[in-house]
């Protein structure tokens, strides 16, 4: 009876040891489990014009239950680049790190690339595929390429219209500058895009500030093949024209002088415009405005101060300007 009891005791101890080893292995495995996930797992930038840049964000997330050390991140593929990422970094479970990826194609055509993330104690690699297509930039032209405003009276203004047209591909115009204060641009709001084969109109105004020749350049900035599209501007300022009305009448005997009256309506009312009695039979009215019409009459004043009736009325039309 002693023999069976002797063999049962070691068997129980052996089984307990096996269970303890398995339990310890499970605990160790759970503690060491780690992982790294990328969102998105790939980036397709679509079609981007040569000379332009498209930006996307990429997020690395620790998907395990232990810390993950990212030791190195590299990128390949012509036109692809990264920013906002400083390695090495260590991510706690569930923690994320976001950085930026840019695609700026150098030539037209499809391009592929890859982001390689080296992480963990075993130097595991996470790969993020990149793709995009470069398209040839469009051409932007101004029509006409030069605007000549001719002569414009100082203080007045003249406006002229022109247009921008895109060819080959759509063009986005981002801004415009004029290097002369006598010219100004209107009719467009920046930024704006012109589809290939289409055009957009704009207006330029010339307001001469002084007499003499004036010139300037209107420059449009865009993502076209040539980033700056110029429009030549020219004009000439002329001095304001001084208008006057010269009046004359037949003399009347035995009078001391004459008064001159002016009105803006035929038949009056009239206002006297000479400050003192005019002894001559001539008068020049310099206080007239361009584009206006005036009506004049005169009267004779005797030595005793008696004033005659109005003479016949004359009309004067002042040119504009």
Collapse the DSSP code of 86 into the 3-class scheme (helix H, G, I; strand E, B; otherwise coil) and give the result: coil
User: Tokens at residue 316, please?
Assistant: 């004067």
Residue 21 located in a structural domain:
no
Residue 207 located in a structural domain:
yes
Residue 173 located in a structural domain:
yes
Based on the domain organization, do 184 and 221 belong to the same domain? yes
Collapse the DSSP code of 41 into the 3-class scheme (helix H, G, I; strand E, B; otherwise coil) and give the result: coil
State yes or no: pLDDT of 16 exceeds 80: no
Query: Using 50, 70 and 90 to split pLDDT, how confident is the model at 6?
Result: very low
Residue 28 located in a structural domain:
no
Residue 22 located in a structural domain:
no
Segment 34-53 mean pLDDT: 90
Based on the domain organization, do 40 and 121 belong to the same domain? yes
Which are the contacts of 47, defined by CB distance < 8 A and separation ≥ 6? 132, 133, 134, 135
Q: What pLDDT is attached to residue 240?
A: 78
Based on the domain organization, do 169 and 103 belong to the same domain? no
Domain boundary among 112, 135, 158: 135
Segment 186-194 mean pLDDT: 97
Residue 205 located in a structural domain:
yes
Domain boundary among 135, 160, 181: 135
- Listing DSSP states for 188-200 in one string gives --SSEEE-TT-EE
- Percent share of the chain, pLDDT over 70: 89
- The number of domains in the chain is 3
Tell me the CATH number at 220.
Answer: 2.60.40.10
Encode burial over 30-43: b for 16+ CB neighbours within 10 A, e otherwise: eeeebbbebeeeeb
Nearest to 80 by CA among 130, 7, 133: 130
Based on the domain organization, do 286 and 273 belong to the same domain? yes
Based on the domain organization, do 230 and 147 belong to the same domain? yes
Based on the domain organization, do 116 and 149 belong to the same domain? no
How far are the Cα atoms of 52, 62, 175 from residue 136, in angstroms, in the given order? 10, 40, 21
Q: What pLDDT is attached to residue 2?
A: 47
User: Tokens at residue 119, please?
Assistant: 């992480």
Query: Using 50, 70 and 90 to split pLDDT, how confident is the model at 34?
Result: low
Based on the domain organization, do 281 and 299 belong to the same domain? yes
- Strand (E) or helix (H) holding 38: strand 36-39
More confident residue, 288 or 22: 288
pLDDT digits (tens, 9 = 90+) for 120-133: 988 899 999 999 99
Q: What pLDDT is attached to residue 33?
A: 56
d(CA 112, CA 135): 15
Based on the domain organization, do 143 and 126 belong to the same domain? no
Q: What pLDDT is attached to residue 97?
A: 97
Q: How far is CA 299 from the centre of its chain?
A: 65
Based on the domain organization, do 250 and 226 belong to the same domain? no
Domain boundary among 113, 135, 157: 135
Map tokens 């998907």 to a residue. 63
Based on the domain organization, do 114 and 149 belong to the same domain? no
Based on the domain organization, do 259 and 277 belong to the same domain? yes
Average pLDDT, the chain: 89
State yes or no: pLDDT of 206 exceeds 90: yes
What residues make up the domain containing 203? 139-238
Segment 259-284 mean pLDDT: 96
Q: What pLDDT is attached to residue 241?
A: 76
State yes or no: pLDDT of 28 exceeds 50: no
pLDDT digits (tens, 9 = 90+) for 63-74: 999 999 999 999
Strands 124-135, 109-119: pairing kind:
antiparallel
State yes or no: pLDDT of 3 exceeds 80: no
d(CA 113, CA 134): 13
Segment 264-275 mean pLDDT: 96
Based on the domain organization, do 256 and 311 belong to the same domain? yes
Residue 109 located in a structural domain:
yes
CB 251 within 8 A of CB 257: no
Residue 31 located in a structural domain:
no
- Percent share of the chain, pLDDT over 90: 77
């Amino acid at each position: 009876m002693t023999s069976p009891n002797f063999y049962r005791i070691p068997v129980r101890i052996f089984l307990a040891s096996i269970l303890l080893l398995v339990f310890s292995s499970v605990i160790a495995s759970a503690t060491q489990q780690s992982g790294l996930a990328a969102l998105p797992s790939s980036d397709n930038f679509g079609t981007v014009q040569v000379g332009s840049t498209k930006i996307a964000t990429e997020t690395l997330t620790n998907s395990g239950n232990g810390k993950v050390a990212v030791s190195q991140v590299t990128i390949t593929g012509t036109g692809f680049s990264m920013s906002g990422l400083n390695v090495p970094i260590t991510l706690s479970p569930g923690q994320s790190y976001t950085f930026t990826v840019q695609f700026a194609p150098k030539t037209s055509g499809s391009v592929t690339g890859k982001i390689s993330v080296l992480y963990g104690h075993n130097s595991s690699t996470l790969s993020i595929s990149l793709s995009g297509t470069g398209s040839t930039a469009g051409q932007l032209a101004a029509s006409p390429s030069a605007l000549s405003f001719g002569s414009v009276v100082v203080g007045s203004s003249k406006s002229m219209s022109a247009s921008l047209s895109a060819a080959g591909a759509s063009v986005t115009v981002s801004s415009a500058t004029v290097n002369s204060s006598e010219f100004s641009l209107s009719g467009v709001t920046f930024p704006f895009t012109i589809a290939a084969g289409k055009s957009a109109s704009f207006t330029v105004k010339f307001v001469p500030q002084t007499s003499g020749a004036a010139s300037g350049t209107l420059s449009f900035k865009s993502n076209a093949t040539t980033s700056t599209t110029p429009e030549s501007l020219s004009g000439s300022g002329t001095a304001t024209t001084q208008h006057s009305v010269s009046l004359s009448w037949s003399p009347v005997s035995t009078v001391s002088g004459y008064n001159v009256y002016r009105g803006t309506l035929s038949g009056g009312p009239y206002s006297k415009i000479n400050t003192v009695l005019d002894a001559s039979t001539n008068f020049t009215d310099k206080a007239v405005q361009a584009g206006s019409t005036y009506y004049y009459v005169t009267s004779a004043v005797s030595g005793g101060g008696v004033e005659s009736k109005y003479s016949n009325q004359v009309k004067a039309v002042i040119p504009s300007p």
